[in-house]
Structure 1
Amino acid sequence: MSSNDKNFPKLFNEKVLQDWFSTLDGFFQEPFQRFFDRQIPVDVYETLTELIVEADLPGVKREQIHLEWLEDGLKITVEDKKIVEEENNHEKYYRKERSFQRMERYIPLPYTAAVKEIKAKFQNGILEIKIPKKKRKRNDSKMIDIE
Structure 2
Amino acid sequence: MDFWKDQLKNLFNDERLDGLIKSLDQQLEHSLKEFDQHLNHFHSNYFFQVESTEDENEIIIEATLPVGEEDKVKLDMVNHQLRILIQRFETEQIQNNNGELLKKENFSKRIERYLPLPANVDTESIKAAMSGNRLTVKIPKIVKQSQIIDIDLE
TM-score by length of 2: 0.64
Match of 1:50 in 2: 58
Per the TM alignment, residue 61 of structure 1 is displaced from its structure 2 partner at its CA by 4.5
User: 1:86, CA displacement in angstroms?
Assistant: 7.6
Give 2:29's aligned amino acid: T
Q: Provide the C-alpha distance between the structure 2 equivalents of 1:117 and 1:70, rounded to a whole number of angstroms.
A: 15
SS at match of 1:135: coil
Partners of 2:70 and 2:82 in 1: CA distance: 17
Relative distance call for 1:85 and 1:36 in structure 2 (3 A) is: closer
Aligned partner of residue 25 in structure 1, secondary structure: helix
Identity of aligned residues (%): 24
1:1-147 equivalence runs, <5 A: 10=16, 14-37=20-43, 38-57=46-65, 60-61=68-69, 64-84=72-92, 93-98=101-106, 100-139=108-147
Number of residue equivalences: 137
* Structure 2 residue runs without a partner (length 5+): 1-10
Deviation at 1:122, TM superposition (A): 1.6
CA RMSD of aligned residues (A): 3.8
Query: Which structure: greater helix fraction?
Result: 2
The structure whose RCO (Cα within 8 Å, separation 6+) is larger is 1
